[in-house]
Structure 1
Amino acid sequence: MSPAQLEDRAIIYRSETARREVDAFRHLRTQLLSVTEGNFITLVAPVSRGSGGSFVARNLAAAVAFDETKSALLVDCDLRHPSQAQTMKLAANDGGLIDYLEDHESNADSVLYDTGVPRLRLIPAGKSRETGAEYFSSFRMRLLLDSLRSRYPNCHIFLDAPPVRGAPDARILADLADVVVLVAGYGRDTAAAIAQAGANFDPAKFAGVVFNEGV
């Protein structure tokens, strides 16, 4: 895709000109790689709706995909308000995560989509649901992530979670992840709200807070 197409999809890209946003995500990527081993699973969880968790998850995955020796997989786990397929302008006609979890005859390949960004793929959420807790704690969800890790040893998986406040979904997803990144809206989420959200996660997995000024 052209730079204009990538900007339209709110995805970072490499260029000859230094860009603050791109450098920030490269720095975050380096920090994650320094505290993890192998093809880790990262949960990206916003404190509240509008904090920009999906934007951060998408671009952390894109930053990993900059490296030609690695690939990234983004999984839209916000079942109430899925956004990744729409933002990335993908026609997810074959369904997504929910379709895989509900249909025990389906396989992961049927819900993996190329994004147009080299080495970056997406599993969209599929049909929206009011709650994801029972899906995320299911055997099928764990099987999906385990099979993807074993099949793609150089692929790093990013789970785009729903907001921490208001539902248990992000906390349940954290059990499946190796590392957790909390996203706070700069000037939006209070220090108390950030601390309360962070307390939901195992300190051994908690990588820190990203303050997002953008989308």
Structure 2
Amino acid sequence: MTEHKQDREEMESDTRPRDSASRAGDINGKERTGDLQKRGAVRDSGDDRDFPQWDDSRMLVPSSLELGPGAVDRYVISKQIVKMQEPRRLTRDDMDERRIIYPESRDRELVNRFRHLRTKLLELSGGNNFTLVVSGACEGAGTSFMALNLAAAFAFDQSKTALIIDCNLRNPTLHSQLELASDTGLTDFLEDSDYDIGGIIYPTGIPRLRLIPAGSRRENPAEFFTSFRMRQFLHAIRRRYPDRFIVLDTAPIADSPDARILGELCDYSMLVVPHGKITASAAENAAQAFDPEKFVGAVING
């Protein structure tokens, strides 16, 4: 499978980020937080002609889970990551309005909760990179908020990168939340055998964090995810960087089979449960839809 020499970024936007829940809970579901009503987002404009295309580095190596603990040290990762350019940068005000965490955020409680989730997942993986499916127990659980901020937490580390993939083909929102005008994405790659992965990876304005949006064609989502090309795709992006943590934002587990199908292809699965919106039995049923060997737990968000 080939890759572009340069990935793409488009910055024009005509949408605003959606509302989302405000804070993350502990991975064992014992902590919960309040809701947030988002305000308008700052707009950036421009296109690829306004700046040199950014370099996401092309050294293709096995992932650390394939090679074992410590194997990443064999590669000059720091030099790769330094090459990652940001054609635009979200300001602190931009991040606050979108409720995206960053190391210097004044909301230390929110930042620390996501750092805690990140630490638990790293302990589980032995410090190795992994692919993680994040799905809600129902509509409105705050899955995208949780997935995006968890990916941002992994990108805090200057020696690591993170990639978030919008796999909610029925209701994709990450491109609008990040103010990106993305004309191509995951479905375009999966439908076209000649499409390069580099053409669907976009800078987010957040250092070391990249986005693959849902794409332009979204009929029959389950057929995309059960294809052999989807399996190839996940393997390829995993190998793109040996230190990249990959988070998949998916449709609610109760509404579609997408999260369960993707969970079979990924290393771990996590459930987002909205506080006070569903019964304990409904949350338990949603959790049981995942492979118990890969299910890392539920987060209460609300």
Q: Report TM bin, short chain.
A: over 0.9
TM-score in terms of structure 2 length: 0.68
The aligned residue for residue 298 of structure 2 is: 209
The aligned residue for residue 144 of structure 2 is: 54
| Cα displacement (A) at 1:131 | 3.2
Q: 2:125 aligns with which of 12, 18, 36?
A: 36
The aligned residue for residue 147 of structure 1 is: 236
SS in 2 for 1:175: helix
The aligned residue for residue 12 of structure 1 is: 101
Q: 1:186 aligns with which of 275, 283, 287?
A: 275
The aligned residue for residue 116 of structure 2 is: 27
Alpha-carbon spacing, 1:103–1:80, altered in 2? closer, same or farther (3 Å): same
| Cα displacement (A) at 1:110 | 0.2
2-side partners of 1:128 and 1:15: how far apart?
38
Q: Which amino acid aligns with 1:56?
A: M
| Cα displacement (A) at 1:173 | 0.7
Do structure 1's residue 171 and structure 2's residue 263 form an aligned pair?
no
Flag structure 2 segments of 5+ consecutive residues without an equivalent: 1-89
The aligned residue for residue 161 of structure 1 is: 250
Per-residue displacement from partner, 1:33-85 (whole Å, max 9, x unpaired)?
A: 00014220000011111000111000000000001111000000000000000
1-side partners of 2:150 and 2:221: how far apart?
23
Percent identity over paired residues: 47
Alpha-carbon spacing, 1:125–1:84, altered in 2? closer, same or farther (3 Å): same
Q: 2:170 aligns with which of 80, 84, 98?
A: 80
1-side partners of 2:106 and 2:254: how far apart?
38
Contact 2:105 2:111 in 1 (8 A): no
Per-residue displacement from partner, 1:137-178 (whole Å, max 9, x unpaired)?
A: 111111111011112111010000100012111110101111
The aligned residue for residue 180 of structure 2 is: 90
TM-score in terms of structure 1 length: 0.95
- Quote the RMSD (CA, aligned, Å): 1.2
Contact 1:81 1:128 in 2 (8 A): no
1-side partners of 2:180 and 2:210: how far apart?
11
Contact 2:188 2:217 in 1 (8 A): no
Alpha-carbon spacing, 1:151–1:16, altered in 2? closer, same or farther (3 Å): closer
Contact 1:79 1:127 in 2 (8 A): no
Alpha-carbon spacing, 1:131–1:163, altered in 2? closer, same or farther (3 Å): farther
Alpha-carbon spacing, 1:139–1:13, altered in 2? closer, same or farther (3 Å): same
Do structure 1's residue 105 and structure 2's residue 105 form an aligned pair?
no
Which range moves more in the overlay, 30-39 or 103-112?
30-39
Which range moves more in the overlay, 50-59 or 16-25?
16-25
Per-residue displacement from partner, 1:86-132 (whole Å, max 9, x unpaired)?
A: 11101113x00011111111011000000010000000001252531
SS in 2 for 1:62: helix
Q: Which residues in structure 2 correspond to 1:110-121 (within 5 Å)?
A: 110-121=199-210
